[in-house]
Amino acid sequence: MHTERDLSAARWRKSSHSNGEGGSCVEVSDDFPGLVPVRDSKCPSGPAVTFEGAAWSSFVGAVRGGEFPGA
């Protein structure tokens, strides 16, 4: 369980799969060792969710490996 973190100074980077056409885009921050904040790039002032680094890596690996059909 994580306590709430101040993400106001986070540097965000957009997913390399963002198409710039209003599609489903996420941004992540690499500023927090062991933790990956993720937010909706279309609503940057909205909430962010955080993942343990290992959990995020596992998720990204599953996406790249095609484990989510139709995604």
Per-residue confidence band for 3, with pLDDT thresholds at 50, 70 and 90: low
Helix (H, G, I), strand (E, B) or coil at 14: strand
Number of neighbouring beta carbons within 10 Å of residue 17: 10
Q: Which helix (H) or strand (E) holds 36?
A: strand 35-40
- Higher-confidence residue: 19 or 3? 19
For 9-46, how does the pLDDT look when each residue is reduced to its tens digit (9 = 90+)?
A: 899 998 776 666 656 788 999 999 999 999 998 888 88
DSSP-assigned beta bridge partners for residue 54: none
Helix (H, G, I), strand (E, B) or coil at 46: coil
Asked if residue 15 lies in contact with residue 33, where contact means CB atoms within 8 angstroms, the answer is no
What is the pLDDT, as a whole number, of residue 70? Answer: 66
Q: To the nearest 10°, the Cα dihedral for 40, 11, 35, 43?
A: -10
What is the pLDDT, as a whole number, of residue 71? Answer: 54
- Higher-confidence residue: 19 or 64? 64
